[in-house]
Amino acid sequence: MKAARAKTPRRPALKKPPAPGPKDPVGVYCRVRPLSRQDQECCIEVISETTVQIHPPDGYRVFRNGEYRETQYSFKEVFGTLVVQKDVFDVVAKPLVEDLIRGKNGLLFTYGVTGSGKTHTMTGSPGDGGLLPRCLDMIFNSIGPFQAKRFVFKLDDKNGVDVQCEVDALLERQKRDAMPVPKTPSGNRRQIDPEFADMINVQDHCKVDEVDEDNVYSVFVSYIEIYNNYIYDLLEEAPFEQIKPKWNSCNTPVRNGDFIPPQSKILREDQNHNMYVTGCTEVEVKSTEEAFEVFWRGQKKRRIANTQLNRESSRSHSVFIIKLAQAPLDADGDNVLQEKEQITLSQLSLVDLAGSERTNRTKAEGNRLREAGNINQSLMTLRTCIEVLRENQMYGTNKMVPYRDSKLTHLFKNYFDGEGKVRMIVCVNPKAEDYEESLQVMRFAEMTQEVEVARPVDRPLCGLTPGRRFRNQAFKEELARKLEMRGGPINGETEEQSASEIFLQNFPPLPSCELLDPNDDQTLPKLIEVLEKRHKLRQMLSEEFAKNVLAFKTTLQEFDSSVISKENYIQGKLSEKEKTIAGQKMELERLEKKIKTLEYKIEILEKTATIYEEDKRNLQQELESKSQKLQRQASDKRRLEARLQGMVAETTMKWEKECERRVAAKQLEMQNKLWVKDEKLKQLKAIVTEPKNEKPERPSRERDREKPIQRSVSPSPVPGDVFKTRGGGQAVQFTEIETLKQESPTGRKRRSSPSNPDPPEDAADSEWTDVETRCSVAVEMRAGSALGPGYQHHAQPKRRKP
């Protein structure tokens, strides 16, 4: 199943390679806020312009067994408690605004624990504006005289921008003015809201020195917040429901006519692999006051709450996005180029992160506890992404950065991939109660400085001659000056009169018409002649004029017919284009539905993959435990085999020795038997060969019966008759049956051995050798010798047959 459904990451073939060229580290700055009371204990000290020192408070040293450690952390620059907002802006935000006007992206965010001054640094206070109003003021001071009219630039819903001609922009403005919805305030003469008037009253008049004067600019702003890992548009007008009631989060019906809570927005990726929020409200603004008014309208909707540590604690991450669209003028320097490839869209994101906090200090419960958990989780994901980026850059690994684990990191992933500069201001509160939180913030800041981001490339030049705008303005000014010198509009009438005069001058001049003499007959004929010539000339001009009128009418008719044919052709083409556009719209809708379906499937597959990975880890752990168990059993089996082999070898050796001993005993026994038989044969041979000299006296049988004879073969008296032999020995003639028992040499040892307490039944046979004689024989005995000390004679009297 895994082989059939395995999928690579989303659109890997289109993923951009790492941006080549030099890299810049993330700029991390530190700002220390003043203590709220003079008698508070301080744990952070500013050592130099780039170094701060943090030490544990006194109570912490006692609690930690007297350990006292002072740690120093370095930053690009440190702003102490006496530094004003302007100094922070000049160092941190001003370079980002300059890059924005030059067509580059930038990201600036404030990071720190709750109550450390992040919102104050970003927004400011009455009379002392923060970074955000100062950035807006610098932008409009720089591009003020070069701004385009409203709706010349028009943002689309795919994070792109289009440019319209002046006529379309005018129609768009008229259409917007005719709409009943509340219009965005425009112009500089409107009254500024006194609630934030002091914040934007910046007297610095800071601006960028080098601005491309042959471009036109438009500024668009949007304001979103990330609350409980959901994105909400703070500029979106809440929908007004009048049909049926709905249920809110408290399971109470919302009355007809109430505002419905806003819907969360979705993150998507455009064709340039930049992340954007779909359906987000983007407002075109023309001044600092207008832009900050839009920001303040969204700021009122931002979620804040009162906690134990901060009276107005931000419960969400806010992101204020400034987009700057710019396009060059045409070669005449009068109109904007309509080529979309020449449009540059850059953005500056100002992020006010919610502060990390500990619930045991804030005493959060219910929704506040849930908000704190989501805030800490998103900040932890940001820390994890920074750690993975740092590890990949320092050790050359290629681990996947978990941007998608949080909406915050997913939204700004393109900045860390080399799409713009990244700046971070670490705000810290030097009071002793925030020591542990400040220590964690310092460690994160130190790690972030080691991450490098690719430097953004400069935008290409349009290729047109610079200075077009000023040349066009100079031409218009000179033309207006000359028209003013000629009298302006009256000059046109003068030229028209002179043309009629020139036309009349072509007629023959009239002679003098004074009649001084009644008999004058020359003046009238001359006058009649001149008038006739003028009449003929007039007729000729009238005929020529009629011919010209007819020719002009003919030409005009031909032109009308050609225009009509062209209009028909254009209408046909337009209808075809409209059909094509309608088909493409349907295709786009289908593709959008398909994209939503695929995103849903991808989400399901990601969840399934997560489940499979968890099962895989569990199975691997189970496999490892069973492998360890099998290894232990194998080792136990090997030890048992070795032990059994030792026991078998020991037993084998023991039985081999026992067998050798028994074989030796048996051999000795057989040798003794053979020797006894040989002796008997010798004795029998000697008895047979020797003559009978004398017959021995037979002993009394009753005496033998009374006392059985049991003795060893020795020089002592033996039963029977003893007589001398020829060889010098002695012979005994037994008259009774005797049993000779020979004791085995190993018999005594066996009897004394404790390992064999119960001898077998044939033990007597192995210990003694019985020799039975059924008749009286003569045994030849050597003088002074015996059969052996182990032999004993047991005489058992037996009744002799008659």
Q: What is the pLDDT of residue 733?
A: 57
More confident residue, 594 or 373: 594
Q: Is 661's pLDDT higher than 60?
A: yes
- The DSSP element (H or E) to which 561 belongs, if any, is helix 523-689
Q: What is the pLDDT of residue 79?
A: 94
CA–CA distance, 112 with 199 (Å, rounded to integer): 23
Classify burial at 671, counting beta carbons within 10 Å of its beta carbon; exposed 0-12, middle 13-18, buried 19 or more. Answer: exposed
Q: What is the pLDDT of residue 668?
A: 92
Q: Is 6's pLDDT higher than 50?
A: no
pTM for the predicted model, two decimal places: 0.57
pLDDT (tens digit per residue) in 223-263: 999 988 899 999 988 654 444 444 444 444 444 444 466 78
Q: What is the pLDDT of residue 95?
A: 93
> 94-101 and 131-143 are packed helices; what angle lies between their axes, rounded to 10 degrees?
40
413 and 101 Cβ atoms separated by less than 8 Å: no
More confident residue, 763 or 133: 133
Region 154-175: mean pLDDT is 85
Closest among 146, 127, 44 to 84, alpha carbons compared:
127
More confident residue, 507 or 607: 607
> What integer best gives the mean pLDDT of the chain?
76
CA–CA distance, 685 with 197 (Å, rounded to integer): 156
Q: Is 382's pLDDT higher than 70?
A: yes
E-only strand ranges, 136-199:
153-155, 161-163
Q: Cβ contacts of residue 76 below 8 Å, gap of 6+?
A: 27, 28, 29, 50, 449
Q: What is the pLDDT of residue 4?
A: 41
* Alpha carbon separation from 773 to 96, 225, 677, 777 (Å, rounded): 134, 128, 12, 8
Q: Is 754's pLDDT higher than 60?
A: no
Q: Is 18's pLDDT higher than 80?
A: no
Angle, CA of 297, 300 and 305, to the nearest 5°: 165
pLDDT (tens digit per residue) in 408-465: 999 999 888 888 899 999 999 998 888 888 888 999 999 999 999 888 777 766 667 7
Closest among 352, 346, 491, 318 to 424, alpha carbons compared:
352
Region 315-323: mean pLDDT is 91
Region 54-81: mean pLDDT is 76
Region 615-637: mean pLDDT is 92
Produce one character per residue of 546-571: b if its CB has 16 or more CB atoms within 10 Å, e if not.
eeeeeeeeeeeeeeeeeeeeeeeeee
Region 661-677: mean pLDDT is 93
Q: Is 14's pLDDT higher than 60?
A: no
Q: Is 630's pLDDT higher than 50?
A: yes
Classify burial at 306, counting beta carbons within 10 Å of its beta carbon; exposed 0-12, middle 13-18, buried 19 or more. Answer: exposed
CA–CA distance, 296 with 303 (Å, rounded to integer): 13
The two tokens of residue 402 are 């978990």
The distance of Cα 679 from the centroid of its chain, to the nearest Å, equals 107
Window from 515-519, 625-629, 697-701, 755-759 with minimum mean pLDDT: 755-759
> In the chain, what percentage of residues exceed pLDDT 90?
32
